[in-house]
Amino acid sequence: MTITPGAAGSAFQEEVLDKLAPLRSASPTRRVGLDGGVRREHVQVAQRAGADWVVVGTDLFSAGGEARWADVLAGGNG
């Protein structure tokens, strides 16, 4: 979780990205991802850190969210 669980709309905690590499090393065949506070600008950072997937909620469904995420919704990967 990249926010405190249950705190929808909270800020993304970038320090959580540092946990992805150890997870990958411990279990290289498992897919790992992020959930919580993910905004458009976090997708590539998360991918570079080793995330296979991200969960987006508030940023997508807030005002202007569809426009911010249009390329991803159309099949791009961010």
- Transcribe 47-67 into DSSP letters: HHHT-SEEE--HHHHSTTHHH
**pLDDT averaged over every residue in the chain:** 85
Calculate mean pLDDT across residues 21-42.
Answer: 90
Q: Residue 54, CB half-sphere, CA atoms under 13 Å: how many?
A: 30
pTM above 0.85, yes or no: no
The percent of residues in the chain predicted with pLDDT above 90, rounded, is: 28
Q: Which residue has the higher pLDDT, 11 or 8?
A: 11
pLDDT of residue 73: 76
Examine the pLDDT at 36 and tell me if it is beyond 90.
no
